[in-house]
Amino acid sequence: MSPGVYVHIPFCRSKCPYCGFYSVPSKRPVPIWFEGIKKEIRLYKGLFGRFDSLYLGGGTPTFLDDAILSCLTDHLFAHFDFTADREFTIEANPCDLSAEKIRLLKELGINRVNVGIQSFDDGALAFLGRRHTGREAENSLKRLRRLGFRNIGVDLIYGLPGQTLEHWEGTLNQALLFQPEHISCYELTLEEQTVFGRLQEKGEMHGLSEEDGRAFFLAAAKRLGEAGYVHYEVSNYARTEAFCCRHNSKYWNRSPYLGLGPSAHSFDGTERWWNVRSVRHYGALLKRGSPPIQARETLTKEQIRLESLALGFRTSQGVALTRMALEPRSTEMLSTLKTAGLLKLKDGRVVPTEEGFLVADSLPLCFFP
Amino acid sequence: MDHIRNFSIIAHIDHGKSTLADRLIQAAGLVNERDFRDQILDTMDIERERGITIKSQAISLPYVDKQGRSFELNLIDTPGHVDFSYEVSRALASCEGVLLLVDAAQGVEAQTVANAYAAMEHDLEIIPVINKIDLPSADIERVKEEIEIELGLDSDQAILCSAKEGTGIRDVLEAIVTVIPPPSGPVEKPLQALIFDAHYDPFRGTIVSCRLFSGSVRAGDRIRLMHNRATYKAEEVGLFRLNREPKKELSAGEVGYIISGIKTVSDVRIGDTITLEGNAAQAPLPGFKEIKPVVFASIYPVASDDYRSLADALEKYKLNDAALIFQKDSSAALGLGFRCGFLGLLHLEIVQERLEREYGQSLIMTSPTVQYRFLLSNGEEIIVDNPVYYPDPSTIVKAMEPFIRASIMIPERYMGAVMDLCLERRGVNAQFNYPTPGRIEIRFDMPLAEVIYDFYDSLKTVTQGYGSFDYELLDYRESDLVKLNILLNGEKVDALSQIVFRDSARPRALNACQKLKQEIPRHMFKIAIQGAIGSTVIARSTISPFRKDVTAKCYGGDITRKRKLLEKQKKGKKRMKMVGSVAIPQSAFVAVLKTDKKGS
């Protein structure tokens, strides 16, 4: 399986109150980061073989100045080997997607844009701390299409306080008007160390109830299913199999990937390692010529099995029966879960149903004593 | 021998036995203030925490009386609980007198009576001691009256003290030397030493505590345990001070220890007689009994991999508790474990707690049960102490279960509630005594099985803690028994099966279903809980499934975070027992034994 490259670009115009990813709401440390990235690219040169995916994520990659963005891609292509049919994704904010920016992205060889739409409702967008309006969201998608992007992904969020099921279905319908190749539907989660997380601790904000969470999730599965989308991962839908995100699938398939930038994670097939979080620390380590690695781990057999099941049950690929290492008790468990309508057998693989996706966090441990 | 006094302190729980012992030890100057700690004789954590004595202990106290005569006072501390009544009887057999301690506010309680009678049976001199006279609620006159009427003792002889405050301690010591007779026993006759306890010492092996009734023993003598017919060489003999104090010789009348390379306490039987190999006594001392367990339960490791470790822990534990018996057991639901026999419920709880605390085991204990007897159609009579071996009901001609005589002492106002409780627990043949105005003693014949099912807790609840309870085993009586099975999603959980009285089967089954519903966490699928006799379901409940738990995002390439979370959950799951596809927490096995009795 070919490896992929991920570059973490931890800068945003402002921090969204729900986002738990590492990012800095300023451009000031960009030079430190960029010097670091260039060094880190050289550090891994030749170590990973030929990549077939490149993913610029964040943060807000489109927040970077054009010159830096160009320089970054030049560097990547100069030092790493990529296949001709590579998938090259950038995460984008609707308000950054001016016609000029989009043309630049095309020039840089980017062939997939994943847009952080979240919602088309101005009220919802304001609540989420997004800087774009519903109109801008629509326009950005139109513009991408008009300027020739054939692989567009949109991110949507559901489960905002007070949101009704009808409202969510409305959001889905609006997204479908653009026939995006890829749709990610994320439930709003209130994570620790975010503004929303702190509000939850104080009891001022609540996540969805189990029942509502199910309803929103299943509504998306139903609506997008009707529209012909493939539900290939818990939160991800593709217009056809061909549009499943190649890069993200590497995470779920346990294919190798190289993560560059602060807090990025890497996996070479045996070992996992991850970088330090702070830009400053990251830059300083690379300046000294040291790898900016926070920690690394080599997995035991048991851990590999746990990961394979945990990741596999999040996808429509499921887990190969041969990988399940079933003993009598787990065979019994498998039949219980089949009867309960959570798992099914398909082509020698154990595959979750829609109801199975809903309990995907608990499925792996069923097969461990 | 005139300078020796052998005595014991007997009391109802919480009447201040250990505190009085502490004061006597301090008065003897055996320990300086700095090294002193409360409950000095109770060396185990569990004893100190629960305020109970589990093992007998002996200590020799030097004492100089008012006339300047020197004495050696041997205090033999005994476990107060009915579970250990045989140990108590052997300790009493080693004494010439007892201090009968009565709480000045609580008065005579069920165990006070039982203990006093036991002392009378051994023909011991009894010194009533009224303790806690410093309490504002102390009612000395009433307690004296109870001592006269209930125990038939001369209350004028009663000594007033407060062990806590240290008042009256001197009077207690004087009474010990004046009232209790010195031991008598021919030193020239062959050795007869009564074993009243044995402790395990990791460096020296078994330390045997004994009272010499005749003859003498020296280090180097070859000794013989008369009932066990085993011989050993006495390596060391001596007295118990706070620590062991070796002596050349122990002789008739004395209380001390013998170390003789005996590996485990199970090789020593309490109540056995030690004599000399070369110059053996004609017969052992009377009163020896084989200790027989009355309550049975199985224990399993929570994680099946820990079976070996549990086996090791039991072996080690057994070194110091000869009363525990155990043998291998296996359950379809719980895997390999041990079937254990206990002296009673307190003993069971102590074993469980010590295995968990001192030996680091995590255990699942199944429902305790008594020994039932069944007369079968082929004329055979079988004894069943494990529901797994419940015979085919069609072959049972007659079923029998052990009965006890329960004695409950309560303030009169709780009589109605306690009567109801006892009748509900199949109590028959009620008798009432009115020892003093306002107090009542109720006696009932009751199945032992009813007592081990949550009886103590219920009694405490309905009497708001004022009820005291004691019992003795009576006999086996005919009964109508059935085996109650618990099924989870149609699969029988053998470890939750119980043998119950037919009329109690439905309430028990309902209770078990309800309790399991509370204890078993929701699964991804529906769990049906059923209580059944044979193929007839008599109670049921359902645990509805959880239907969503997935987290929206698996964080970029950060798989490690997710995996670590799962590993943590996996560890938690190890503490669950899998029955079919259902994970049962350890607490569920205990919970089915408890009822939700509301206070009256």
> For A180-194, how does the pLDDT look when each residue is reduced to its tens digit (9 = 90+)?
999 999 999 998 889
Nearest Cα residue to B175 out of B107, B255, B121, B99: B99
List residues bridging with B331 in a β-sheet: B335
pLDDT at A235: 96
Which is more confidently placed, B435 or A117? A117
- Tell me the chain A residues in contact with residue B581 when contact means C-beta distances shorter than 8 Å: 332-333, 336-337, 366
Write the pLDDT tens digit of every residue in B133-160: 999 999 999 999 999 988 889 999 999 9
B179 alpha-carbon distance from chain centroid: 31
Q: How confident is the model at residue B600 (pLDDT cuts 50, 70, 90)?
A: very low
| CATH 3.80.30.20 assigned to A4-252 | yes
pLDDT at B48: 58
Q: Is the pLDDT of residue B47 over 70?
A: no
Q: Which of residues 348-387 of B touch A (CB under 8 A)?
A: none
Nearest to B553 among A214, A235, A363 (CB): A235
Q: How confident is the model at residue B118 (pLDDT cuts 50, 70, 90)?
A: confident
A192 touches chain B (CB under 8 A): no
Measured distance CA(B200)–CA(A162) in Å, rounded: 68
What is the set of domains in chain B, with CATH numbers?
4-179 (3.40.50.300), 192-276 (2.40.30.10), 295-365 (3.30.70.870), 372-479 (3.30.70.240), 482-591 (3.30.70.2570)
Nearest Cα residue to A259 out of A1, A2, A3: A3
Whether the CB-CB separation of B378 and B395 falls below 8 Å is answered with yes
Q: How confident is the model at residue A170 (pLDDT cuts 50, 70, 90)?
A: very high
- CA-based nearest distance B525→chain A, Å: 6
A272 touches chain B (CB under 8 A): yes
pLDDT at B423: 94
- CA-based nearest distance A214→chain B, Å: 6
Q: Which of residues 54-73 of A touch B (CB under 8 A)?
A: 57
Among A213-222, B432-441, B561-570, which range has the highest average pLDDT? A213-222
pLDDT at B25: 86
pLDDT at B572: 83
Chain B residue nearest residue A303, CA to CA? B563
Helix, strand, coil percentages, rounded to 5, for chain A: 40, 20, 35
Q: Do residue A359 and residue B551 have CB atoms under 8 angstroms apart?
A: no
Q: Is the pLDDT of residue B52 over 60?
A: no
CATH code for the domain defined by A301-361: 1.10.10
CA distances to B208, B220, B277 from B259, in Å: 6, 10, 16
Name the 3-class secondary structure at B578.
Answer: strand
- CA-based nearest distance B585→chain A, Å: 13
A282 touches chain B (CB under 8 A): no
**For residue A148, cis peptide bond before it (omega within 30 degrees of 0):** no
Q: Measured on CA atoms in the order A258, A260, A266, A272, is the torsion positive or negative?
A: positive
Q: What is the mean pLDDT of chain B?
A: 88
Q: Is the pLDDT of residue B460 over 90?
A: no
A364 touches chain B (CB under 8 A): yes
Among B29-33, B191-195, B290-294, which range has the highest average pLDDT? B191-195
pLDDT at B261: 87
A355 touches chain B (CB under 8 A): yes
Write the pLDDT tens digit of every residue in B385-416: 999 999 999 999 999 999 999 988 888 899 99
Whether the CB-CB separation of A58 and A23 falls below 8 Å is answered with yes
Which is more confidently placed, B483 or B344? B483
pLDDT at B80: 65
- CA-based nearest distance B578→chain A, Å: 8
pLDDT at B46: 61
Phi, psi of B428 (to 5 degrees): -135, 170
Nearest to B550 among A57, A257, A359 (CB): A359
Q: Do residue A6 and residue B556 have CB atoms under 8 angstroms apart?
A: yes
- Tell me the chain B residues in contact with residue A19 when contact means C-beta distances shorter than 8 Å: none
- CA-based nearest distance B232→chain A, Å: 49
pLDDT at A128: 95
Q: Do residue A234 and residue B549 have CB atoms under 8 angstroms apart?
A: no
DSSP 8-class letter at B107 = B
Q: What is the mean pLDDT of chain A?
A: 95
Measured distance CA(A190)–CA(B342) in Å, rounded: 52
β-strands B335-342, B325-331 pairing:
antiparallel
A314 touches chain B (CB under 8 A): yes
Whether the CB-CB separation of B73 and B176 falls below 8 Å is answered with yes
Q: Do residue B556 and residue A267 have CB atoms under 8 angstroms apart?
A: no
Write the pLDDT tens digit of every residue in B78-103: 776 667 778 888 889 999 999 999 99
Chain A residue nearest residue B545, CA to CA? A340
Helix axis angle, B415-424 relative to B455-462, nearest 10°?
Answer: 160
Q: Is the pLDDT of residue A137 over 60?
A: yes
Helix, strand, coil percentages, rounded to 5, for chain B: 30, 35, 35
Q: Is the pLDDT of residue B532 over 60?
A: yes
CB atoms within 10 A of CB B51: 15
Share of chain B above pLDDT 70, in %: 94
Q: Do residue B557 and residue A259 have CB atoms under 8 angstroms apart?
A: yes
- Tell me the chain B residues in contact with residue A364 when contact means C-beta distances shorter than 8 Å: 566
Whether the CB-CB separation of B98 and B7 falls below 8 Å is answered with yes
pLDDT at A279: 96
- Tell me the chain A residues in contact with residue B567 when contact means C-beta distances shorter than 8 Å: 303, 306
Q: How confident is the model at residue A119 (pLDDT cuts 50, 70, 90)?
A: very high
pLDDT-wise least confident of A143-147, A296-300, B21-25, B467-471: B467-471
pLDDT at B552: 73
3-class SS string, B353-382: HHHHHCCCCCEEECCCECCEEEEECCCCEE
Measured distance CA(A174)–CA(A218) in Å, rounded: 18
A147 touches chain B (CB under 8 A): no
Chain A residue nearest residue B544, CA to CA? A340
pLDDT at B398: 96
pLDDT at A64: 96
| E runs forming strands in chain A | 4-9, 51-58, 82-92, 112-118, 152-158, 182-187, 230-233, 236-238, 257-260, 265-267, 271-275, 293-298, 319-320, 343-346, 349-352
List residues bridging with A6 in a β-sheet: A55, A259
Q: Do residue A252 and residue B549 have CB atoms under 8 angstroms apart?
A: no
> Domain limits of chain A?
4-252, 301-361
The pLDDT of B206-215, averaged and rounded, is 94
Q: Do residue A357 and residue B581 have CB atoms under 8 angstroms apart?
A: no
Q: Do residue A361 and residue B551 have CB atoms under 8 angstroms apart?
A: yes
Q: How confident is the model at residue B367 (pLDDT cuts 50, 70, 90)?
A: confident
Q: Do residue B547 and residue A314 have CB atoms under 8 angstroms apart?
A: no
pLDDT at B576: 82
pLDDT at A344: 96
Measured distance CA(A24)–CA(A47) in Å, rounded: 30
Which is more confidently placed, B212 or B228? B212
The pLDDT of A55-82, averaged and rounded, is 96
- Tell me the chain A residues in contact with residue B562 when contact means C-beta distances shorter than 8 Å: 310
β-strands B295-301, A182-187 pairing:
unpaired
Nearest to B552 among A8, A235, A303 (CB): A235
pLDDT at B51: 56
Q: Is the pLDDT of residue B597 over 80?
A: no
pLDDT at B598: 39
